[in-house]
Amino acid sequence: QVQLVESGGGVVQPGRSLRLSCAASGFTFRSNAMHWVRQAPGKGLEWVAFISYDGDKKDYTESVKGRFTISRDNSNNTLYLQMSSLRAEDTAVYYCAKAKFGSSSWFDYWGLGTLVTVSS
The answer to whether 27 contacts other proteins (rule: CB under 8 A) is no
Instruction: Give the contacts of 28 (CB within 8 A, at least 6 positions apart).
Output: none
- DSSP strand E in 1-120: where? 3-7, 10-12, 18-25, 34-39, 45-51, 58-60, 68-73, 78-83, 92-99, 107-110, 114-118
Region near other proteins per CB under 8 A, out of 13-21, 22-30, 41-49, 70-78: 41-49
Does the footprint of other proteins cover residue 46 (CB under 8 A)?
A: yes
Q: Segment contacting other proteins (CB under 8 A): 11-19, 44-52, 67-75, 76-84? A: 44-52
The residues of the shown chain that bind other proteins, judged by CB under 8 A, are 35, 37, 44-47, 50, 59-62, 95, 100, 103-113
